[in-house]
Structure 1
């Protein structure tokens, strides 16, 4: 017997039927609650760059001659969402109707070697909310959290604008942690979008010797300064490699975190980081990147570190948003109703200067 609140049989939802067919539905079936599931009523869902790339038909989502399709349509997009519990299966313990919750974007299988040894974010099947029909996302009025979802509680008093940043800031935290920043390090963060800003405000808590941010957009650099950057540079107007070398007696930065997804930022970082330095790659790229690998080995002996998702990060992010250590002001710049999803996707591209755009219910 499930614990039930009030839930209609149908709901409003954005549904991707294939890469050319995204449809706003007014009467899509509401998810059914199994004995181990939780159903939430969505409060809001952020629009991520990956949502845009998927909607544009990127091969990494829909497949091509080289890679198989990862998306399993029909699927409801969205992985940056949260809401309140309206129904729970009979086996669910420890939660109550009306509680405000959020889940990690990955839905781990619980059975593979990575799940069993604690690295659940690298789960081998790698199913994520918003990309497979079995794990519909948050661009709908209701969402089902299955048994293996990694759930965190969201404080009732937390604003929607802050709660929308839990997922991206969780990813930011993991990327910064991968860099093992100390208070003796000169740190460069390349890219000051939503995720880059999350990295800036969290890296500030690490108290590096100097925190430097690069971006091509002046408004983003201004926000980075507000969030704790010591110095900001625009690679479009200054020679940033020379600037960093001049600041470090010609050695280069200790840690470089790449958060733009542009090939030029990778080449720039390899040139900028010192010998024995640490290079953290976070971004998803729309095109291949070609670099001289001898820089990594023979010339500099670099540590190259990848960063994926936001493991074990949500509780820390939620607590430090609430106490003010993680800055969030002005990052969520625009909100739209689900009916305006096309407009939301357009603004989420950043062409109008927005950081984070969201759908609200």
Structure 2
């Protein structure tokens, strides 16, 4: 069957369903149907994100604690890094997204309401209701044979020549590029990137596109550090063996890094970044943390007067991420290390949790 051939979907499909933290099951469920202004998509690949893993393990960020209400919901199909082909849609959806049956598409992970203060101001990625694929019952995710793109979804076409797992990497890459945009990197900057996982490697590639003076990649895995060089890092430091501070000082005449991009989600990386930065430097935090992080805030204020910025999702960066993937400039075969059938979702989660045997793990629906 050719890539653009479409067959009628079955009435039931295989899907991973979240019933509670650490209670995800492979089940047969009804195949969804697209309503007015929506599209039915046959999923080709779905990546497993670190946030998927934290949600699986019950992090308070998702399931709440004494200080916050739960955000994630049960009876939901997970997965927000996905790619697929359009099976059916009406004229309204085709015109809105400029797509047709058979097109390969990705959708941004957030489904903005279009009505809240943030959406009305063009800041859709901070949408008040914050409905995201794979975490809410209203928007089931991509760990299934089929999924529906609702009319509020932000849809992008991607080449059919790109392997499915590579195409699904558009989501984490767009997030990484947004973090780079937040940093406002200029030519003379020395940039430090903490972590050489999917987000960190994307940060390195994005930072390299800005042509700074140097990009220093930090990680504890030699193989990931070698891959960081292929993505554009000029220097690497194995922090299990070496303190990165002397190298950073050497590169900056003793002042410290201009920009620090945090992509590990490990509490120790926060203080590391504050210490590596020069006065008036820029810290960009992307990671989702599994627990609270405590630092001496006087480093940020009295000591260095740092610009500390958050980064969330990948607004306005999806076209650039797609172009980067389609260009073939990234070592995607080495980034996308594992593609498993959907039935092996637990093995996929375990691979991501181990951290040392994989970089990007994707599930391929049968």
Give the aligned partner of residue 60 of structure 2.
59
Give 5+ residue unaligned stretches, structure 1: none
SS at match of 1:349: helix
Aligned residues: 357
Query: Are 1:332 and 2:333 matched, yes or no?
Result: no
Q: Is the 8 A contact 1:11 1:29 kept in 2?
A: yes
Equivalent positions of 1:195-344 (< 5 A) are 195-344=199-348
SS at match of 1:330: helix
Note closer, same or farther for the CA distance 1:161–1:90 as it changes in structure 2 (3 Å cut): closer
Deviates more, 1:100-109 or 1:53-62: 53-62
Give the aligned partner of residue 39 of structure 2.
38
Partner deviation per Cα, 1:178-206 (whole Å, 9 max, x = no partner): 11111110000011001101111121111
Q: Is the 8 A contact 1:336 1:359 kept in 2?
A: yes
Give the aligned partner of residue 104 of structure 1.
108
Aligned partners of 1:73 and 1:287: how far apart in 2?
A: 21
Aligned partners of 2:22 and 2:288: how far apart in 1?
A: 21
Q: Is the 8 A contact 1:171 1:195 kept in 2?
A: yes
Aligned partners of 1:125 and 1:55: how far apart in 2?
A: 22
Query: Are 1:157 and 2:161 matched, yes or no?
Result: yes
Note closer, same or farther for the CA distance 1:140–1:161 as it changes in structure 2 (3 Å cut): closer
Q: Is the 8 A contact 2:47 2:165 kept in 1?
A: no
Note closer, same or farther for the CA distance 1:351–1:275 as it changes in structure 2 (3 Å cut): closer
| CA RMSD across the alignment | 1.4
SS at match of 2:333: coil
Q: CA deviation at 1:327?
A: 4.2
Give 5+ residue unaligned stretches, structure 2: 1-5
Structure 1 stretches of 4+ with a deviation exceeding 4 A read none
Give the aligned partner of residue 16 of structure 1.
18
Aligned partners of 1:351 and 1:49: how far apart in 2?
A: 10
Give the aligned partner of residue 3 of structure 2.
none
Aligned partners of 1:200 and 1:7: how far apart in 2?
A: 40
Q: Is the 8 A contact 2:60 2:291 kept in 1?
A: no
Q: Is the 8 A contact 1:15 1:22 kept in 2?
A: yes
